[in-house]
Structure 1
Amino acid sequence: MDRNLTVNAAQHSDIEGVLALLKKYHANSISDEDRKDGFVTTNIDAVQLAELIDKENGLVVAKDGDQVVGFVIAGSWQFLQRWPMFEYMTGELHKYTPYGEQLDSNNSYQYGPICIDGAYRGNGLANQLFDCSAQIMAQRFAYLVTFINKINGRSYAAHTRKLQLDDSGSFGFNNNQYHLMTLDLRPLTA
């Protein structure tokens, strides 16, 4: 298949494609067959995605021509605190010092989810999405922070092996257990 893949900061015209991928791979709607290959748990709507684009520059998309085939979300803790999980995490950041500096809502941001259509996985697209997003966010933050549900082994493997994130601890929320993953972005701006 001849593919014309691009990876860039999202535009409003990309929102519909992002929502379609979210629905396809969301934990609440993913097929049992696809679940073993990973899933996303973030609930975000078109208005919130538009705000993420406008206020945070926090949505990066991969496109094959005009079709969105992957995306990654990133945002400040201030932006994300409207969701209970992120509000909780903001209050927990101070417990972690993965690079010799205490994490807080000013020096770190939340990365994820990342989602790639199954037909496009395994070709380095996750790295391209991740790198583009990290470069954008490194202009404002020293540290990337994310979390991965401990039952999502594929995601954990991808983030530790392919994306080189550090497992900096664990926490529980809403009857689930999570890995707290981090990355020092300071080398990107040095």
Structure 2
Amino acid sequence: MQLKLAELSDIDGVLALHSKFQIDTIKEEDKKDGFVTTAFTKDQLSELILGENGLFIAKDDGVVVAYVMAASWHFWSTHPVQAYMIGQLHHYKFNGETLTAENSYQYGPICIDTTVRGAGVLEKIFAYALESMSQRYPILVTFINKTNPRSLSAHIKKLGLSVLNEFQFNNNSYYWLACSTRTDANRPFEP
């Protein structure tokens, strides 16, 4: 398995994987195993690759089997839920630091193909993306829909993220999570 920063030539593979697990296109019986809520276009992924260096992928025999997106709050500011989160950042501290758009970034979504789930791919691609983003930001921030308990469990138990709070947006309920990009520095939320 190869972990790498995505290139423009990887976009079709990312979108193929994405469409299998995106909420609008996933099979109903597969939702219980996790899903991605946000839809993406080729242009958005191009901007994520070229402008943010924020699309990390795992390939197996040349096929994209996992991806992680990570980018500045500026990149995500046109997405309604992230725009809401930007306005709330200053209400939270993590590891003694008040969250800002300068000291944190938005991580996710992440998607792992069912063919490689349970094989450590989640932990590997997360660590790869976290290490890369640690050069720019000390704190990772994300959110998970409450209707996606598998994702919440994986992020807390396998990846060590901390739940900061819960919030409502656009008739959905979410968990707000964070972790340090320095893997040895993760501590629980400080009020």
Normalised TM-score (structure 1): 0.94
CA RMSD of aligned residues (A): 1.3
The amino acid that maps onto 1:13 is S
The amino acid that maps onto 1:160 is I
Normalised TM-score (structure 2): 0.94
Report the equivalent of 1:16.
12
Distance 1:122 1:171 in 2: 30
Q: CA deviation at 1:22?
A: 1.1
Report the equivalent of 2:188.
none
State yes or no: 1:81 paired with 2:77.
yes
- For the residue of structure 2 that corresponds to 1:36, the secondary structure is helix
Q: CA deviation at 1:155?
A: 0.3
Equivalent residue runs for 1:21-170 within 5 Å: 21-170=17-166
Q: How many positions carry a matched residue from both structures?
A: 185
Q: Is the 8 A contact 1:135 1:188 kept in 2?
A: no
Gaps of 5+ in 1: none
The amino acid that maps onto 2:73 is W
Report which stretch shifted further, 51-60 or 179-188: 179-188
Distance 2:70 2:93 in 1: 21
Report the equivalent of 2:189.
none
The amino acid that maps onto 2:169 is F
What whole-Å deviation, never above 9, does each CA across 1:156-182 have from its counterpart, x for those lacking one? 000000111011111111111111110
- For the residue of structure 1 that corresponds to 2:93, the secondary structure is coil
Q: CA deviation at 1:98?
A: 2.4
